[in-house]
Amino acid sequence: MSPGDLESTVARLRKQFLAEFDPAYVENVIVPHFLVSTYDGERLWLPMINTEFTKENALPYDLWGLLSETWKPAPEDGVTVFLQGLEKRGPHNRRKRIYMTALTPDLYRPMYGDKVVGFFDKLLDDANTGKPLMRPYLESYFDLYWDLHLGVKGDAIPQQVHDIGQAFNTVLAYRDVTQKIVYENYMTVRANLAFLKTWIDDRLTDIENGKTPNPEKTFAWYWIKNAGNGEYFAHKDVVFEVFHNFVALSQWGNTLYNIMLKLAIDTGDPDARAWFKKTMEGNPDDAAGEAFTPLERFVMELFRTISPNGGSISAMEEVRTPPYQRHGYVVSPHTSTSFDPVHWKDPEEFNPDRYKTAPTSHDINEETCEQIGFAKCPFSSEPFDVADGRKAAISNSGFGTVYGIVDGEPLPVCDYAALRLSVSAIAGVPASSSPSKCSRIFCARCGTAESNSTSLISLTPNRCLSDPPRSSAIMSASAAKPSRYA
């Protein structure tokens, strides 16, 4: 399309939609929406994406108005690591390492577990038996979200904060920017965006000055403690990270829904149900010298086969100056890579034992890279010591995948291109841009799970094995999140 053709097309778009929508919305949302090009990328052979495919502003341009009051990227007001190029994250991917300090698996049970338990006890209460669960899920999700991020819940969350969360996710659910429901909710987000940022900023101050009870049980506390002088993770960036994580709602809900689908009594996957029974009747938490426990391997296989996020999006730069402003993106596929027979001998089978021999982030070192044929590892190992009182560090594999080492014990992730898990951490932290991550999974309360699976929509809550029969729990994820090459 020539510049002249483009101008006439844009003029027609403006004329068509200005009668219904705010001019700023038409100019910054509808017009860019029709000028964006998104391409399917190739399947990956290694868990890395080259820097030519960058995470810098890798967000469809029509969505920037949900994050920025200027309708466009404004790094001077804060930025998330998931929309930041590797070259801007500081030495050895420092920004990602600081982000990861809040999500190492050792923190789940003592710091976050009770909050997740409360969420599932409410969701899977006997009162919800036989009822669709997505409405109660939506109603209670943000209590968990804000409690994990900032230590705030219930009446302490203003209605405006609830409104922006619901509106944000409505936009993402419908996605068609020409629909009235999308427009109205988009503008609701924008009307409340300044309030939300100020409210988050105030709650961060409460965490810093000790006003928030048990601040170490929030994600933000670790980001603040480990940010040092803020050069690579400034206070404004913490604010941005907290509300950017809204995008995880659909992925977390999709994951829970599909776990129920696979384990449903009448309509579930027979192989997945059989593996669940075998796992839970054995020793689910005994790794027996392997990198992952049987329960971890089972849930890793659930995530491989569910793949709630279809791919990792990267921005592209054109090799010459385009005749008009436009934006292009490539999506490196998750699902097709996870089922690629080049990576697995039995990709269509549900087989958690495949992870007994899959490489972990602690395995990928100089020797491994040389065996592959590299002259050296793409990334040197550069541990980052945390400053939050733990004896812990965030290390990385030769592929750049970050993972925790706590009290001298590695807590690795599966560093393999064909395990492209995109579920978030326990609160629904947005999926990492990495094509490979694995999760350490526990029952929300005791680290085990009931061997009787549940039906899909008419869900009868099961009980945690450590509880009286009246209680209920479901598995929850604490995902270790490696970085990506771009």
Which distant-in-sequence residues (6+ apart) come within 8 Å of 279 by Cβ?
Answer: 294, 295, 297, 298, 352
Q: Are the CB atoms for 185 and 262 separated by under 8 Å?
A: no
Q: Are the CB atoms for 271 and 425 separated by under 8 Å?
A: no
- In whole angstroms, what is the distance from residue 88 CA to residue 388 CA? 24
| Tokens 């970085």 found at | 483
Q: Return the structure tokens found at 26.
A: 């038409």
Q: Are the CB atoms for 455 and 265 separated by under 8 Å?
A: yes
Q: What DSSP designation does 452 have?
A: S
Which amino acid does the sequence have at 137? Y
Helix ranges, 325-365 (H) = 335-338
Which of 358, 313, 414, 416 has its CA nearest to residue 46? Answer: 416
The predicted pLDDT at position 50 comes to 82
Which amino acid does the sequence have at 486? A
Q: Return the structure tokens found at 407.
A: 């009290």
Which of 251, 350, 237, 362 has its CA nearest to residue 301? Answer: 350
What is the phi-psi region of residue 30: left when phi exceeds 0, alpha when psi lies from -120 to 50, beta otherwise? alpha
The predicted pLDDT at position 420 comes to 54
Which of 302, 217, 354, 356 has its CA nearest to residue 477? Answer: 302
Name beta bridge partners: 37: 328
| Tokens 């075998």 found at | 278
Q: Are the CB atoms for 161 and 152 separated by under 8 Å?
A: no
The predicted pLDDT at position 451 comes to 28
The predicted pLDDT at position 382 comes to 87
**Element containing residue 419 per DSSP (H, E):** none
Residue 440 exposed, middle or buried by CB count within 10 Å (0-12, 13-18, 19+)? buried
- In whole angstroms, what is the distance from residue 55 CA to residue 206 CA? 32
Q: Give Cα 422 to chain centroid, integer Å.
A: 6
Q: Return the structure tokens found at 159.
A: 């209605």
Query: Looking at 3-82, which runs of residues are DSSP E strands?
Result: 36-40
| C-beta atoms surrounding 35 within 10 Å | 19
**Element containing residue 324 per DSSP (H, E):** none
What is the DSSP code string of 270-312? HHHHHHHHHHHHS-TT--TTSSS-HHHHHHHHHHHHH-SS-EE
Which distant-in-sequence residues (6+ apart) come within 8 Å of 229 by Cβ?
Answer: none
- In three-state secondary structure terms, 72 is coil
For the chain, which residues score pLDDT lower than 50?
421-486
Which distant-in-sequence residues (6+ apart) come within 8 Å of 238 by Cβ?
Answer: 78, 204, 220, 223, 224, 227
Q: Are the CB atoms for 266 and 124 separated by under 8 Å?
A: no
- In three-state secondary structure terms, 374 is coil
Q: pLDDT tens digits for 43-56? A: 988 888 888 889 99
Sign of the Cα pseudo-torsion (277, 429, 64, 42, in order): negative
Name beta bridge partners: 384: 394
- In whole angstroms, what is the distance from residue 53 CA to residue 44 CA? 13
Q: Return the structure tokens found at 361.
A: 């982030």
Which distant-in-sequence residues (6+ apart) come within 8 Å of 341 by Cβ?
Answer: 347
| Tokens 């771009």 found at | 486
List the strands of the sheet with 327-333, edge to edge. 36-40, 327-333, 311-315
Which of 402, 420, 423 has its CA nearest to residue 411? Answer: 402
Q: pLDDT tens digits for 391-442? A: 999 999 999 999 999 999 999 999 998 875 433 322 222 223 332 333 333 3
